[in-house]
Amino acid sequence: MLISELKLAKELIRKPSVTPEDAGAINLLAKNLKSLGFNCKLVNFKNIKNLYAKLGKSSPNFCYAGHTDVVPPGNISDWSINPFKPVVKNNKLIGRGASDMKASIACFVAAVSKFKNKNKKFKGSISLLITGDEEGIAVNGTKRLVKYLKRKREKINFCLVGEPTNPSKLGEMIKIGRRGSITGRLTVIGVQGHVAYPHKANNPANTIVKILKKIKDLKLDKGTKNFQPSNLEVTKINIDNHADNVIPGSANAVFNIRFNDKHSASSLKRKLNNIFRSMSKSNKCRFNIKYEVSGGAFLTKPNKTTYMIQNIIKKITGIKPKLSTSGGTSDARFLRNIAPCLEFGLVGKTMHKIDENVSVSDLKKLTKIYENILTNYFN
């Protein structure tokens, strides 16, 4: 049985699976995989549906990882179509999730159907690890699936994550690692008072502004061989004060650091806490800080599989993809704990945007790339 990547991509996009809703996307995918002979295990954690599907039982196990959840469409009236009723216009498949990353999943399933049609018996197994919790807080998806597979002693030998890695053209970029991410939620506590009597109060707004300037001006590093420089960005500043003649009692800010392999979450926390402690003390304020760590910096050292995939992409697209660690976080940060992994998918320039779309010809090329990867991997 052969599966069409375009048809399956459209069917998946029609499922409005905005995180944490599944809307039938996982079941649709499982139905298609079962038709190819996959053993499908639905693994639910709280309100999140996940899928681990496997074809074959022997080693090696080549795994494709991805997510069926999508970000909200925003104002639907701004779209040229209904975002969950996909349309092909001018060789572009338009719909929420087209780029990130339902069409990539469809390409891999189509590739497996073609590979299986030509290779009735192959030595090894093919698996798909699919979550519905990548665009959200990513707690009950791949992170817990990885722990589940460890408990089951399920071995994955190599993992390909189908995220949209290419900035503008298919074939430009393979991701072999990512920077780490840490979010800090800072509260500075002063003394509330009347604006006409500032000597009887202590305005925390003054202190938090000084602190934010200090941490923003930190030169964390200049980058490393494999990573761009670490950077800190202030993302929120808030003072919950409803009166114009009151000096507030507290001020809040949120910041995020994307850090390379020169740092760990622990080393950054120590550096920041020293600044908060010192500046709060000198300004006679108190502070409270809460951190959320999404993952540390990691790198999958290129091996023969990496170079094999790179050569296949070049052969089919005419472009030799750059091995990169740029961009945000992905579920590869969890998967790298159980297998070497890299990321390669479609073009990401319209992901999360109005009229998100992918080239239909790119879908055919990506299916061909994925099929060739399977053929080379198992031969």
Give the H or E element holding residue 342. Answer: strand 341-343
Q: Which residues pair with 343 in a beta bridge?
A: 161, 175
Nearest Cα neighbor of 360 from 346, 349, 348 is 346
Task: Please tell me which residue in 22, 134, 163, 371 is annotated as part of the active site.
Answer: 134
Q: Is 134 a catalytic residue?
A: yes
Dig out the tokens for 251 from the structure: 């001020």
Q: 215-226: b or e for each residue (b if 16 or more CB lie within 10 Å)?
A: beeeebbeeeee
Angle among Cα 321, 303, 330 to the nearest 5 degrees reads: 60
Helix (H) or strand (E) holding 278: helix 265-282
Is residue 183 a contact partner of residue 256, using CB atoms and an 8 Å limit?
A: yes
What ranges in 189-264 are assigned the alpha helix state H? Answer: 204-216
Please answer whether residues 68 and 330 qualify as being in contact, where contact means their C-beta atoms are separated by less than 8 angstroms: no
Rounded alpha-carbon distances, angstroms, from residue 310 to 65, 304, 305, 324, 370 = 18, 10, 8, 12, 12
Catalytic option among 5, 11, 22, 69: 69
**How far is 337 from 348, CA to CA, in rounded Å?**
25
Helix locations, 140-203, DSSP H: 142-151
Which residues are known to be catalytic?
A: 69, 134
